[in-house]
Amino acid sequence: MTKIIGLIDCDSFFASCEKVFRPDWARRPIVVLSNNDGCVVARSPEAKALQIPMGEPYFKLKSFAESHGVVVRSGNFALYSDLSGRVIQTLSRWTSLIDVYSIDEAFLDLTGRFVDANDRFHGLADDPDDGKALGDIPRQTREELEALAEEIVTTTRRWTGIPVSLGLAPTRTLAKAASRLAKDECAKTGKKYALLFNREERAAGLRRLPVDKVWGVGRRLSATFLKTGVRTAFDLARLDPKFMRESFSIVQERLVRELRGEQEYDFEPPEPQKSLQISRSFGENIESLEELEKPIATFAAKAGAKMRARQIVASGFYVYITTNRHNERAPQRCVGAAMNFPKPTNSTPELIEVALKLARQLYAPGYGYKKAGVVALATVDETVAAERQYLFDPDPNRPQERRDRDQRLCRALDSLNARMGGGAVFFAAEGIRRAWRPNSSFVSPSYTSDWSFIPSAR
């Protein structure tokens, strides 16, 4: 049966988040910078109109931004994550089948809203031949779907402040293509949504979509396609799927089939997370072991909190440190080391203990360290780890009584930080003064997570 798959794409997401609490910036060009205020990672439509390139270093952009009234913001990823969650919560109003693809994109399965108890589309009984073709839907269903699409984009914008584009189609790849068309052609059509269902509609839409904008076609693959005359998504859809599998891979075969309206990717439970990484570049070089331990302890604590929130535990831990590779005049060092836990864990005291032990092994004097990170390795669900049986106590130095105490401590820590704001309570190993923090000269207030920054009307 034809599915009705939607792809919600938040427009210029990071820049849109910055505008939510600053209505005076509604029509201002905005750029968001990467960690340490390095380079441009997001642009508002107004900034794109000024032809500010993605990845432009801030030091090159500074004078242009000042002369053209460009608002420059440091990345506030806690704010962006929170607003992303609000968008997803809003989308759950229309369906429970939501697959969050990234911080600013999510797939929706809306089929259930348009079929009866016998899985027949609304209006199909009135015209048995209507909507029978592959990827097609009846006229009545289409009219209802267009009304719903308008409701989704309008309500999401009104409730969250984030503008979105919506693509609707019988497959994920086509929904992604429709979303791109909705975003690119909004000024011409006046709609923030697009549909790609019947054959004529799909053919016309795919002809307007360059092949390098098709989901799953990267820069290298698009270059190969262009050499063979495949310039649009329509050209790609006309290729023989078997040829694509023999010449490329099964992934490209599925890509072509999805563009033809054949559903290859369904809504399945996400695969269990295999690892989790926390890393940052420092605002200034760190040369002493004492100062290096503080960010590594902080990263370990953040990893523990994230794992507990996701109900996973790590079988091992990896720590790495590196100097500034862009400073060719300075001595270079990039090293890492790993250690397995006797039992999988997400306990912050245990994570910090192992992380600091590895950091002391890796540290060497005479270097200016610019970045460090930790990686939780071979993560598994807490329930899976709890079912494991051990013939002997795998860690006699950490008896069960101590493990239980650490777990109670972590639960209390998580509860306090949830109520009072992230980082309200932390371990002494993380340090009181954190001079290593990345440069964030233009960071916005934490409007959604700090009471002191709640906007007030005067």
**For the segment 161-179, what is each residue's pLDDT rounded down to a tens digit?**
999 999 999 999 999 999 9
Give the CA distances from residue 96 to residues 90, 107, 234, in Å, rounded to whole numbers and listed in that order: 11, 11, 32
Beta bridge partners of 107: 7, 99
Instruction: Answer yes or no: are the C-beta atoms of 317 and 376 closer than 8 Å.
Output: yes
What's the CA gap between 348 and 17, in Å, rounded? 31
Q: Could you tell me the CA-to-CA distances from 424 to 48, 210, 437 in Å, in that order? A: 38, 49, 16
Residue 269 pLDDT:
62
Q: Are the C-beta atoms of 44 and 27 separated by less than 8 Å? A: no
Q: pLDDT at position 176, please?
A: 96
pLDDT of residue 284: 86
Residue 28 gets which letter from DSSP? S
pLDDT band at 250 (very low <50, low <70, confident <90, very high): very high
Confidence of residue 160 (pLDDT cuts 50, 70, 90): very high
Could you tell me which residue, 154 or 382, shows the higher pLDDT?
Answer: 154
* Site of tokens 């549909």: 195
**Which pLDDT tens digit goes with each residue over 39-93?**
999 999 999 999 999 999 999 999 999 999 999 999 888 899 999 999 999 999 9
Q: Pick the range with the lowest mean pLDDT from 136-145, 179-188, 325-334, 394-403.
A: 394-403
142 conformational bin, left if phi > 0, alpha if psi -120 to 50, beta if neither = alpha
Contacts of 130 (CB under 8 A, 6+ apart): 123, 124, 138, 139
DSSP per-residue letters across 144-188: HHHHHHHHHHHHHHHHHS--EEEEEESSHHHHHHHHHHHHHTHHH
> Can you give the C-alpha Rg of the chain in angstroms?
26
Residue listed under structure tokens 């209390």 = 412
- The predicted model gives 115-141 an average pLDDT of 73
Q: What is the pLDDT of residue 329?
A: 87
User: What region does 455 belong to: left with phi over 0, alpha with psi -120 to 50, or beta?
Assistant: beta
pTM check: above 0.85:
no
Provide CB contacts within 8 A for 386, sequence distance 6+. none
Among the CATH numbers 1.10.260.40, 3.30.1490.100, 1.10.10.10, 3.30.450.20, which is that of 276-430?
3.30.1490.100
Strands of the 164-169 sheet, one edge to the other: 98-102, 105-109, 5-10, 164-169, 193-195
Quick one: pLDDT band at residue 26, thresholds 50, 70, 90?
very high
Residue 120: per-residue pLDDT: 83
- How far, in Å, are 80, 134, 171 from residue 263 at the CA level? 32, 10, 5
Q: Can you give the residue ranges of every domain in the chain? A: 276-430
